């Protein structure tokens, strides 16, 4: 169950930390957000250390569909209504800046970088697309509404945003990470003041960046209420059609499409972690109908942290941790958001002003309907009988027969059949 990115890349390896060290900035987490943050801090001459519990890119990063785009579903119509024109415009500009930064970095890296048009389509609701097109127009961006696409099924319409991109994420990160100050197999078990306790020693720091997908400190920030996790699935097909673009359904549980060389990647089958959904079965049934001559050559799954308002949490971890920073809640747009996070957090660590600070502020007003739903979900699972309990906050685990894992419906921690930790926010294995 390896992604096509993993199968075609050999990442650099780094030693484990033995003993205790000091650093100005500790980055916890060796996915794309942490690696990019380390890259920018190194460019600025900052003393930093990146600690990764397993190996770099071994978590969510290796399972992305690797779209680099500012088009995040139908986000801009929603942002204009909920946050106003200024913040909607800043959100758009932050993501457009990230697309440009990837293009700049990829100029000298062989990572299959290609400019592509991004399309968000709807199967049955052209009105939503028109509203999004109008929102983008108000923000100074043209996104034509098309009535036909190269997808193998009819749509109500699709919005086209030019100048977006796709690439091979692990080829890119192989070069970016090669000369960084990284320790692998260095699992941060807990923080004691300004010291991170690891399995083999400790790291004392002045500032820390949590780039761990789901934040691992439960005492601050209320992230266990502000986030939930969502699983989605992908298959790669050979001998399927060239669609010449990146497509995503405006419906949360719809499908996404993109080509990579001679392959077609189809994503979908989504569901909240710990619940049931379409998974690979839905994708394979679709492929059998639409591409009967195609052959499946890869399949994988991923997990996304979903915020309350569709905007990531990037900035100061909480008021109680003034020297700690976080990047999470990327809402299925992790590649672009990781770049946004790395550039913003680099400025915050250096105590420089950044125009996007308030847009992504993790302490912004979070009184949203999803907050109540997340709380009810957690209470319900805490009251559910189960022999297996998540060590994060004690929720009942559900057995995932498809992926042979114990999954937490509350906050998305996952464990293998032997109880070994697969996905955080839990910070250790199941107790035997």
At 278-332, the pLDDT tens digits run 999 999 999 999 999 999 999 999 999 999 999 999 999 999 999 999 999 999 9
The Cα–Cα gap between 226 and 330 comes to 12
- Positive or negative, the Cα torsion across 272, 275, 278, 284? positive
Q: What is the CATH number of domain 369-423?
A: 2.102.10.10
Closest by Cα among 52, 340, 375, 78 to 184: 52
Pairing outcome for strands 114-122 and 157-166:
antiparallel
Neighbour-count burial of 107, counting CB atoms closer than 10 A to its CB (0-12 exposed, 13-18 middle, 19+ buried): exposed
Q: For residues 200-223, give the mean pLDDT.
A: 93
What pLDDT sits at residue 3?
A: 96
Domain extents in the chain: 4-64+171-225+309-349, 113-165+227-306, 369-423
Give the pLDDT confidence of 61-95 residue by residue, as tens digits. Answer: 999 999 999 999 999 999 999 999 999 999 999 99
Q: Which of 219-233, 235-249, 360-374 has the weakest average pLDDT?
A: 360-374
Q: Which fold has domain 113-165+227-306?
A: D-Amino Acid Oxidase; Chain A, domain 2 (3.30.9)
Residue 419 DSSP symbol: S
d(CA 411, CA 329): 12
Q: What six digits make up the tokens of 27?
A: 């980055």
Tokens of 173: 């990160």
What rounded mean pLDDT belongs to the chain? Answer: 93
* DSSP assignments along 176-230, one per residue: HHTTS-EESS--EEEEETTEEEESSEEEEEEEEEE-SSS----SSTTHHHH-EEE
Amino acid 404: pLDDT: 86
**What are the tens digits of pLDDT across the range 135-162?**
999 999 999 999 999 999 999 999 999 9
3-class state of residue 204 by DSSP? strand
Architecture of the domain defined by 4-64+171-225+309-349? 3-Layer(bba) Sandwich (3.50)
Report pLDDT digits (tens) over 282-297. Answer: 999 999 999 999 999 9
Contacts of 321 (CB under 8 A, 6+ apart): 217, 220, 221
Largest Cα span, the chain: 61
pLDDT at 384: 63
Residue 370 in this model has a pLDDT that exceeds 80: no
């Amino acid at each position: 169950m390896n992604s096509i990115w993993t199968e075609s890349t050999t990442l650099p390896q780094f030693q484990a930390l033995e003993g205790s060290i000091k650093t100005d900035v500790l980055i916890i987490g060796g996915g794309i957000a942490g690696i990019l943050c380390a890259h920018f801090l190194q460019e600025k001459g900052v003393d930093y250390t990146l600690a990764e519990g397993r190996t770099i890119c071994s978590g969510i990063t290796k399972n992305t569909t690797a779209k680099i785009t500012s088009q995040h579903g139908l986000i801009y119509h929603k942002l204009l209504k909920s946050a106003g024109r200024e913040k909607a415009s800043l959100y758009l500009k932050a993501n457009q800046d990230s697309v440009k930064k990837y293009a700049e970095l990829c100029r000298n890296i062989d990572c299959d970088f290609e400019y592509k048009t991004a399309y968000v389509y709807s199967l049955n609701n052209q009105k939503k697309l028109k509203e999004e097109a109008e929102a983008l127009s108000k923000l100074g961006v043209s996104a034509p509404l098309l009535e036909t696409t190269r997808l193998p099924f009819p749509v109500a319409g699709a919005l086209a945003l030019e100048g977006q991109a796709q690439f091979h994420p692990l080829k890119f990160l192989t070069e970016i990470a090669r000369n960084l100050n990284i320790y692998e197999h260095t699992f941060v078990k807990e923080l004691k003041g300004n010291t991170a306790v690891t399995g083999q020693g400790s790291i004392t720091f002045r500032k820390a960046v949590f780039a761990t997908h789901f934040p691992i400190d439960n005492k601050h920030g209320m992230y266990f209420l502000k986030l939930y996790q969502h699983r989605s699935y992908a298959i790669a097909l050979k001998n399927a059609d060239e669609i010449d673009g990146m497509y995503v359904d405006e419906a949360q549980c719809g499908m996404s499409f993109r080509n990579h060389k001679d392959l077609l990647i189809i994503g979908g089958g989504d569901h909240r972690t710990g619940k049931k959904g379409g998974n690979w079965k839905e994708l394979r049934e679709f492929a059998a109908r639409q591409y009967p001559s195609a052959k499946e050559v890869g399949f994988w799954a991923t997990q996304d942290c979903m915020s309350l308002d569709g905007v990531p949490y990037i900035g100061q971890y909480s008021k109680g941790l003034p020297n700690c920073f976080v990047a999470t809640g990327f809402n299925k747009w992790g590649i672009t958001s990781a770049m946004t996070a790395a550039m913003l957090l680099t400025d915050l660590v250096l105590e420089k002003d950044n125009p996007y600070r308030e847009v992504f502020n993790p302490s912004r007003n979070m009184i949203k309907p999803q907050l109540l739903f997340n709380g009810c979900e957690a209470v319900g699972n805490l009251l559910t009988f189960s022999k297996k309990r998540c060590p994060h906050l004690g929720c009942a685990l559900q057995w995932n027969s498809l992926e042979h894992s114990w999954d937490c419906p509350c906050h998305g921690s996952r464990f293998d059949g032997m109880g070994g930790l697969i996905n955080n926010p839990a910070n250790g294995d199941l107790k035997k």
